[in-house]
């Protein structure tokens, strides 16, 4: 950032700078701190308390974390949710991003007709509420309505149909793919934009050298958009470890069958707010939220230290 700071502003008198900073940063920092950071800090603070039936709270230090990670009653569902969350993330990385890259690559082919139409249509699902997406897919895959079964039968694959959302073996992957279907537009658009920003001279030079479209894409374009791909990956990571709505709206807070679709978001929700006869436990719920926070932080650090560095080296 320093290189963008002009010399003039660097030499500004202190009082004037302070006034400007207050004016420009004040509103954003105030609202953000009050309604985003403070509630998060309050949640973390709450994770060090426990409450009795009358609602009175007492400080217990890190005991909630010890319970969460040490008591099989809590640690089993926690690790299960974390494992499922990793699968959820892996499906996104292995399907969403390659598909997004492929579509972006096709869309950025020179002289492609109907480009605007394709772009608009493919991004459409991203604009919809997860509640609506979950509900619609639930209807489509429902064994009762038979749309999916009918569609498969029409192409001669009727025997492949199974109640995917209801089977322990396939429910999580099915939900992951629904999520991929919805959000593939984001990597597609970002990578598409990055591809368009590649200077034409580079591509022309490659073409003069006799490279085909395919090789130009893999040898010239792809390496140049690696930083975008890594940004997309990190956005996907954060979004996936915060995910909740889709699984909640399709499978409910118990994330069945047998917790096969339970991810950290639903585990947090169930702990914090309860389910049917299970009472909400705000203090343990806060502990889960705090652990989620550190998992995301850990993921981001790994990314910054290992991935970001290397990409810089290739890209620049």
Which residues ranging from 139 to 178 are in contact with other proteins (CB under 8 A)?
139-147, 150-151, 162-168
Which residue number, 21 or 86, has a Cβ lying nearer to other proteins? 21
- Alpha-carbon gap, residue 236 to 232, rounded angstroms: 6
- Applying CB under 8 A, among 197, 215, 304, 312 the residue interacting with other proteins is 197
Member of 28, 155, 209, 313 binding other proteins (CB under 8 A): 28
Closest contact distance (angstroms) between CB of 83 and other proteins is: 17
Per-residue binding string, other proteins, 68-87, x by CB under 8 A, is -----xx-------------
Q: Report yes or no: 314 and 220 within 8 Å, Cβ to Cβ.
A: no
First and final C-alpha spacing in the chain: 17
62 or 147: CB nearest other proteins: 147
Contact pick of 238, 303, 307, 308 for other proteins (by CB under 8 A) = 238
Give the separation between CA 205 and CA 209, rounded to whole angstroms.
6
Q: Select from 86, 90, 94, 132 the one that contacts other proteins (CB under 8 A).
A: 132
* Cα separation, 89 vs 242, whole angstroms: 11
247: contact with other proteins by CB under 8 A: no
90 lies in the binding site for other proteins (CB under 8 A): no
Q: What phi and psi values does residue 41 have, to the nearest 5 degrees?
A: -65, -40
15 binds other proteins (CB under 8 A): no
Cβ-contact 251, 167 below 8 angstroms: no
Residue among 44 and 87 whose Cβ is closer to other proteins: 44
User: Residue holding tokens 């339970």?
Assistant: 262
Stretch of 58-66, 87-95, 215-223, 243-251 lying at the interface with other proteins (CB under 8 A): 243-251
Binding test (CB under 8 A) with other proteins, winner from 61, 94, 129, 223 = 129
Q: Give the burial string for 103-128 (b: 16+ CB within 10 Å, else e).
A: bbbebbeeeeeeeeeebeebeebeee
Which residues, 250 to 279, sit near other proteins by CB under 8 A?
Answer: 251-254, 256-259, 268-269, 272-279
Cα–Cα dist 21/68, whole Å: 43
Helix (H, G, I), strand (E, B) or coil at 186: helix
> Which of 62, 297, 301, 304 touches other proteins (CB under 8 A)?
297
Q: Is 227 exposed, middle or buried (0-12, 13-18, 19+ CB in 10 A)?
A: middle
Minimal distance in Å, beta carbon 145 to other proteins? 6
Question: Is 268 in contact with 292 (CB distance < 8 Å)?
Answer: yes
* Interactions with other proteins, residue window 210-229 (CB under 8 A): 227-228
Single out the residue of 177, 121, 118 nearest to residue 148, CA to CA.
Answer: 177
- Shortest gap between Cβ of 62 and other proteins (angstroms)? 18
304 interacts with other proteins by CB under 8 A: no
Q: In the bound complex, what is the minimum distance in angstroms from residue 209's beta carbon to other proteins?
A: 19
Map residues 45-64 to x or -, x wherever contact with other proteins holds by CB under 8 A: -x------xxx---------
Q: In the chain, which ranges are E strands?
A: 49-51, 57-59, 274-275, 278-279
Among 196, 205, 301, 304, binds other proteins (CB under 8 A): 196
Which range of residues in 78-86, 186-194, 202-210, 305-313 is near other proteins by CB under 8 A? Answer: 186-194
**Contact call for residue 303 and other proteins (CB under 8 A):** no
Short-list 308, 123, 97, CA closest to 187: 97
Distance of alpha carbon 155 from alpha carbon 236, whole angstroms: 33
């Amino acid at each position: 950032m320093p290189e963008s700071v002009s010399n003039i502003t660097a030499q500004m008198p202190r009082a004037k700078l302070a006034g400007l900073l207050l004016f420009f940063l004040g509103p954003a920092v105030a609202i953000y701190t009050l309604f985003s950071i403070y509630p998060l800090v309050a949640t973390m603070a709450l994770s060090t308390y426990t409450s009795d039936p009358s609602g009175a709270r007492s400080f217990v230090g890190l005991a909630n974390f010890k319970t969460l990670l040490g008591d099989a009653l809590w640690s089993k569902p926690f690790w299960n949710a974390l494992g499922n969350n990793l699968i959820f993330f892996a499906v996104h990385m292995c399907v969403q991003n390659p598909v997004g890259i492929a579509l972006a690559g096709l869309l950025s082919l020179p002289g492609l007709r109907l480009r605007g139409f394709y772009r608009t249509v493919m991004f459409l699902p991203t604009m919809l509420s997860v509640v609506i997406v979950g509900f619609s897919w639930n209807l489509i895959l429902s064994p009762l309505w038979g749309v999916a079964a009918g569609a498969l039968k029409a192409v001669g694959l009727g025997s492949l149909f199974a109640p995917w959302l209801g089977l322990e073996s396939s429910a999580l992957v099915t939900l992951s793919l629904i999520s991929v279907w919805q959000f593939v537009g984001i990597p597609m658009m970002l990578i598409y934009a990055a591809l368009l920003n590649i200077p034409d001279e580079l591509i022309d030079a490659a073409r003069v050298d006799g490279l085909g479209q395919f090789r130009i894409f893999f040898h010239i374009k792809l390496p140049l958009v690696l930083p975008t791909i890594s940004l997309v990956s990190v956005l996907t990571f954060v979004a996936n470890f915060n995910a909740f709505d889709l699984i909640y709206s399709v499978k409910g807070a118990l994330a069945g069958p047998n917790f096969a679709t339970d991810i950290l978001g639903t585990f947090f929700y169930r702990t914090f707010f309860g389910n049917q006869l299970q009472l909400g436990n705000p203090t343990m719920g806060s502990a889960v939220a705090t652990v989620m926070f550190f998992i995301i932080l850990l993921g981001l650090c790994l990314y910054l230290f290992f991935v970001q560095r290397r990409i810089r080296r290739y890209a620049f």
